[in-house]
Amino acid sequence: MIKIDGGVCAPQGFKANGVHCGIRKNRTKRDLALIVSDVRAAAACVYTQNLVKGAPILVTKEHVADGYAQAIVCNSGNANTCNADGVQIAEGMCALVEKHTGIAAGDVVVASTGVIGRPLSLEPIAEHMDELAAGLGAYSAEAAQAIMTTDTVEKQIAYSFMLGGKECRIGAIGKGVGMINPNMATMLVFVTTDAAISHEMLQKALSANVKDTFNMVSVDGDTSTNDMVCVLANGQAGNEPVTGTGKEYNIFRKALFKVMEYLCRCIAKDGEGATKLLECKVSGAKSKSVAKTVAKSVIKSALFKSAMFGADANWGRVLCAVGYAGADVDVNKVDVSFRSRAGEIEVCSKGSGVPFSEEEAKRVLSEDEIEVLISLNSGSGRATAWGCDLTYEYVRINGDYRT
């Protein structure tokens, strides 16, 4: 696989754009995005498991029930959740896409992100949809910016890979820096590919990959109401369609995994108020399930996250999180090390502390990307989870997020 430029516009037959329409008061921030395919595309989605779901999710589920879609429209600044007219507004956004692009409203994926419980007016969207549609082009960055809320940087990626002797491309944009503990996806991620693959196999690949990528991310332990990951595959690369499991399916799944894993790191590193990306790697577990449970437990620990903010090698908080994870672990076999660009330092062996230099530990933990290496020494299961430190800034952001 080769990393390329272009984001969601890298694959053949996709265009995108993002504009400021007025949902957000800050006129320097884009707040409306559109991604379109030249042709109907196979579609696959995963959604939040929160019982409270944004109206756009309800509408999108209906629109992709046949396994196809051709456009994605998304606004930021308002979640369109818990609103009496939410479904009507979401359907209205899709109708506006049809009016200005000719793409059937029933082939539109719709998404929203922002404040929950605040009415969303269709008026600013209607006023700027012509500008949005008319400006469609290779503007992945603009689309990525338009779906941001408290994100500090846009998140996009693209790769090329070979499938059936044809060059295929896959690209994505994503957002989500708070309310991240998805247990399905993460805030919003939109993936495009020109590979030809049936919607059944596309869904299979997405559902399988999400278990080891977005399901393993946690910023604050809160599951959003609007989480969605959507993949569109329009087949413009011309490869023989992937319709079953086997070599070609595995190649595609790996390409999709690469994109999803990249965005996991981006989203975790840009967590609200975050200064550090935390990557917890668990090995030697009795099973993969045990490893995943332990990794998520550690990465979600508020005490551990706070210690990492202060570059404090308080490894006892790691052991504590391992112990209450509810997994089958022999705590007397656990080894723990911290690693970063500044080096690696062992802090725990067989469940007990080992002598180490506090100065060296501080140097290792002062980097902006830190690996927490946990060996359970009980099997071959392994897993990775991603998170971030917990800072004063996180509290400030969420102390007045709505007002």
Where b means 16+ CB within 10 Å and e means fewer, 75-89 reads bbbbbbbebeebeeb
β-bridge pairing 68-78 and 228-233: unpaired
76/145 Cα distance (integer angstroms): 9
Of 101, 150, 186, 193, which is the active-site residue? 186
CA distance 255 to 159: 8
Residue 66 CB contacts under 8 Å (≥ 6 apart), including other chains: none
CA distance 224 to 188: 10
Element at 358 (helix H, strand E): helix 358-365
Under 8 Å CB-to-CB from 276, ≥6 apart: which residues? 269, 308, 309, 367, 368, 369, 370, 388, 389
CA–CA separation, 85 and 88 (whole Å) = 5
Name the one residue in this structure whose structure tokens are 């029930």: 65
The position carrying tokens 């990492």 is: 308
Q: How far is CA 376 from the centre of its chain?
A: 28
Residue 59 phi/psi, 5° resolution?
-70, -45
- The whole-angstrom separation of Cα 100 and Cα 363 is 55
Q: Are 344 and 337 in contact (CB under 8 A)?
A: yes
Q: 2-3 and 155-163 as β-strands: parallel, antiparallel, unpaired?
A: antiparallel
d(Cα 322, Cα 336) in Å, to the nearest integer?
11
Residue ranges of the alpha helices (H) in 117-237? Answer: 123-134, 140-146, 199-210
192 a catalytic residue: no
CA–CA–CA angle 14, 16, 22 (5° rounding): 160
As annotated, the active-site residues are: 186
